[in-house]
Amino acid sequence: MNDICLFLETSVFLGYAFPDDRWELAAKACLAALQKKYTSQTVENECSKKMDYSIRMIQQELLGFLRELKSKRGSDIFDENGRERLLDKTRELKIWPFLKSVVSDLDPTTTYIALDDRLRELLHEFLVEVDDRRTFIRTRINNLDIESWLRVDDYGTVQKQLRAAIPNPDDVEILLDAHDLTCHYKLELAFVTGDWKDIKQHESQITGSTGIKRIMYLAEFEHHGAA
């Protein structure tokens, strides 16, 4: 498969950027693969918005939970009910797997004041790690290890065909970026995605309407390394 190039969409970068993300291992394997890699400025912009939003939500929900702790005495024990409430409140956040591992390792005698200190420390560690990984991605793009493509053509007919199958208009625009790349460079291109529902399951419609050779589900890297 080394002669086929890879187009990386948003889920690859988000999977890499957030520790313990469901796609972390697959994203790392994808970024380490030997194939030539591309993305687009549309993907970059979407990644930036989604990362910023996730970080804001993490800070908002976790710090909000810590504010709730002020109603507790610092010497009170952080009991099982408190642990369940913390995990329920943060379940949809990118930091949740991180939190789950920390909470499961807490001593049963952990006090609320000790918990407050540990969660603030954890939040700082998490955000520093995300920022480091974000910088790594930016460096790879700036150094052209991952070439970012800017589409200039609309491809109205192709866009209409894709919109008939793909529910998310942002996904359509990113697929058009990849299509444009194949038109200009005459590439054999695999579109790498972690989105089964909206993209991978529509592979036949996408490859039939565009120059994209195949849709590669991100899980393939998880199972086979840098396949």
Specify whether 123 is located in the same domain as 181: no
Specify whether 34 is located in the same domain as 86: no
- Domain final position from 104, 137, 170: 137
Could you give the number of structural domains in the chain?
Answer: 2
Q: Which residues span the domain enclosing 67?
A: 53-137
3-state SS, the chain, equals: CCCCEEEECHHHHHHHHCCCCCCHHHHHHHHHCCCCEEEEHHHHHHHHHHHHHHHHHHHHHHHHHHHHHCCCCCCCECCHHHHHHHHHHCCCCCCHHHHHHHHHHCCCCCEHHHHHHHHHHHHHHHHHHHHHHHHHHHHHHHCCCEEEECCCCCCHHHHHHHHCCCCCHHHHHHHHHHHHHHHHHCCCEEEEECCCCCCHHHHHHHHHHCCCCEEEECHHHHHHCCC
pLDDT digits (tens, 9 = 90+) for 138-174: 999 999 999 999 998 999 999 999 999 999 999 999 9
The pTM of the whole model exceeds 0.75: yes
Specify whether 181 is located in the same domain as 197: yes
- Domain final position from 107, 137, 167: 137
105-121 average pLDDT score: 82
